[in-house]
Structure 1
């Protein structure tokens, strides 16, 4: 790579074309900084020797590559990690549900949507998001009224989705479609009538109800309802977290990052204690479920405070809160919640673009893996023993189905450090992808080599972590 970049052009081309009086001196300084008076093999060996001394060299402007990589990695990790994690979680979940509903309407719809998303060019998706999720959405926020035809169309679509997910007879599908239609229509009509999008928020009743419902649903899915100790633990953690909504408000007026981190840690510890106390003989199941429920409620409280800052943030940006370019608003000064919201709004569009394109691969891989596992002899044996379908899927099929997915996830997380070249260019992010492409254009080998050093190391490390994860997922695999 060093040879290819060094031979790809003239790093002094801009100075040769310059008519400025100081151009000759600048040319001499650049020749000295980049060692252009030495043969390429000697320059490469000098760079290689510098690595073992902790030096990555300097770019053509004289800036150390270490500082360039540090700034670029911070920007890239902020952008790509969120998209990678969300894309993996959503894609794997959809793929598993699709496998369990093989050849159903839901499966066919997900398959069609996956191939569409997989075929979309990222730059085209980014352009559509800028137009409809940023520009037109910002215009709509001036008067956030949802027309009745839109409410009905979205409600019909939601009803069809719930009908396709429901695995039962035709009557049950009609009931699921009706409930999905009615609930969606009522929610959208309420949001429109109350102008919720102009000044959004969650509030204590919503956090309490959704927290308890999520705790009950996740516990029923993972631990079942045969033994109620895990259910009591999860509901207890969610209820205690929601009841602390008002007492914690003074601490959340203008917190710091360390304060919020400390509150999340305390929430996890208190939830674990509740799980230990209420879990009884099933503490191994109860404690993780209680911790999840407590942290979920804490996350909703965090989101509630962010939404409360929405109105002031939107006014400060003259009614254009959804950003289209860059990682932050220049010269924007606000409190903790407004600056956090600003970072989130700049992350929104590139994250959505990366999720939509990456979602297809995760869903298809997880679907194929689960279908293969569900046809294995030990799964049929588990069903023949009379185990509930939830136990068969969660405890017997899911772990083995995750082994191929682990390889894909390892490569995805390794690729995080290489950035997203096209996405960063479209949305104006100065991350690893922008650093790499700029160095190539300017015939600057040092940043390119630093880029490959970081990405190559991450690929090796994440593949090693994937090998370790195999032994955890499948006891038959041994690291020796």
Structure 2
């Protein structure tokens, strides 16, 4: 294993080194830092040209300038990175990168996680319902979303997801057609996804459609859109629903110890509803504290699963730990919603919370919860844009991979032995169906970290993609090379992670390695 790591580290370093050399030469050939001065009519044009040539060392051969830049990169190993400067503004590239990387990570994290979860879930269900109306509908929607231009989706979301929705919030009265459409859509989707006999389909449609109707009626009756709160009832319903759903997917409801462990975690979350609100009076809210409490919740969930014991204690621990994540998320969400009305009615928001550009409202100041709401409302549209495009690809990949796995001999053998369909799908098929995604997801994530250029441009997020495009347009080589260096390093890391994921998902690969 040590030799494997050493060999990969050496080859990866050589790949990054060669790629940066090639890109430095290509970028140097493609830009002209003297372009604006060549067209200048200033009387001291010659002096200006000489001054800039001296500033950027343009008289030196390109290889010498590359080695000089590489020497600055090498200083990163001593803790003092020197990636050059933006000669137009005089800013160090390291300061530009720190802000751009933070912005890009904020932009893509939620979108990537949600796109993967939804894409994999819908892809698996589509494969299980092959050649049904549900499968055909998902296939059509996937191809439609995959073919849509990103800029077009972003502009439509700006118009209908922000401008029209903010207008609607001024008088949030839900029309009759929305009731009918929502009930038919949710009921039809649930019925098609679950399948079964005609009687079972009618029952599923009635249950899902009825619950949807009650939810929309409640939202309209209490004016929830302008003053949304989960309350302890909403947290309780959500926590129990998560416990049931996660246990069903993880071990099955018949595994009583896992089920009781998940319900115990849900009950603990409900019991902490009021104490957690008083906790914030004694703690200074910050993201490190929030994330620390999240980790603590997972550890407590794991401990609860181990205490329930059973023949396989770690199955219960895993189920309880996973359940703790959404349950603690509900408590965090409730604290945000408590501050929603005060946020939307503040002087700078004026009842129009969904933003169309930027990552912050200029000059907006408030508590941790208010500033978090401000960030999230600015994230809504770009996140939806990235989800809609990425979701389609993950759905198609997962469907194809799951269908291939379901036709394998060992799946037929598992069914012939009398295993339940949930066990066959979740314990035998699902894990192997994820193997092709192991090579796709890390690269997609790195691509997004490199910058969702169009999305960042349309929504005015100054992230990695916007930094790269602007620097290239203004003939500034140092930020461009810093961008390419980071993307090259992340690409190498992504391929290494893919190899590790392969080994986790398929033991045969680990043995052969």
Above 0.5 in TM-score?
yes
2:38 is aligned with 1:13: no
Alignment CA distance shift 1:231-1:178 (3 Å): same
2:270 is aligned with 1:220: no
Structure 1 counterpart of 2:326: 296
Q: CA RMSD in A?
A: 1.9
Which runs of no fewer than 5 residues in structure 2 stay unpaired?
1-22, 77-81
Structure 1 residue 208 displacement after superposition: 1.1
2:94 is aligned with 1:42: no
Structure 1 stretch 176-185 or stretch 423-432: which is displaced more?
176-185
**CA contact 1:30–1:60 (8 Å) conserved in 2:** no
How far, CA to CA, are the matches of 1:119 and 1:272 in structure 2?
A: 43
Structure 1 residue 134 displacement after superposition: 0.4
2:295 is aligned with 1:273: no
Identify which of 92, 95, 108 aligns with 1:64.
92
**CA contact 1:241–1:267 (8 Å) conserved in 2:** no
Matches within 5 A, 1:275-424: 275-316=305-346, 317-424=349-456
Q: Deviations over 1:404-444 (max 9, x none)?
A: 01111111122132111111100001011011101111122
Structure 1 stretch 328-337 or stretch 5-14: which is displaced more?
5-14
Structure 1 residue 27 displacement after superposition: 5.4
SS at 1:38 equivalent: coil
How far, CA to CA, are the matches of 2:306 and 2:490 in structure 1?
A: 38
Structure 2 counterpart of 1:126: 154
**CA contact 1:145–1:193 (8 Å) conserved in 2:** no
Identify which of 139, 148, 155 aligns with 1:111.
139
SS at 2:290 equivalent: helix
Structure 1 residue 8 displacement after superposition: 2.7
Which runs of no fewer than 5 residues in structure 1 stay unpaired?
none
Q: Deviations over 1:307-341 (max 9, x none)?
A: 11111111121111101101111110111101001
Structure 2 counterpart of 1:53: 75
SS at 1:247 equivalent: helix
How far, CA to CA, are the matches of 1:23 and 1:369 in structure 2?
A: 63
How far, CA to CA, are the matches of 1:343 and 1:25 in structure 2?
A: 47
TM-score, structure 1 normalization: 0.96
How far, CA to CA, are the matches of 2:41 and 2:339 in structure 1?
A: 52
**CA contact 1:310–1:341 (8 Å) conserved in 2:** yes
Structure 1 counterpart of 2:475: 443
Identify which of 107, 112, 126 aligns with 1:79.
107
Structure 1 residue 48 displacement after superposition: 2.7
**CA contact 1:59–1:444 (8 Å) conserved in 2:** yes
How far, CA to CA, are the matches of 1:267 and 1:401 in structure 2?
A: 30
**CA contact 1:232–1:279 (8 Å) conserved in 2:** no
SS at 1:248 equivalent: helix
Structure 1 counterpart of 2:258: 230
Structure 1 residue 131 displacement after superposition: 0.3
Structure 2 counterpart of 1:89: 117
Structure 1 residue 288 displacement after superposition: 1.3
Structure 1 counterpart of 2:237: 209
Identify which of 187, 191, 207 aligns with 1:159.
187
TM-score, structure 2 normalization: 0.90
How far, CA to CA, are the matches of 2:397 and 2:123 in structure 1?
A: 7
Structure 1 residue 24 displacement after superposition: 7.5
Structure 1 residue 9 displacement after superposition: 4.1
Structure 2 counterpart of 1:258: 288
How far, CA to CA, are the matches of 2:43 and 2:370 in structure 1?
A: 47
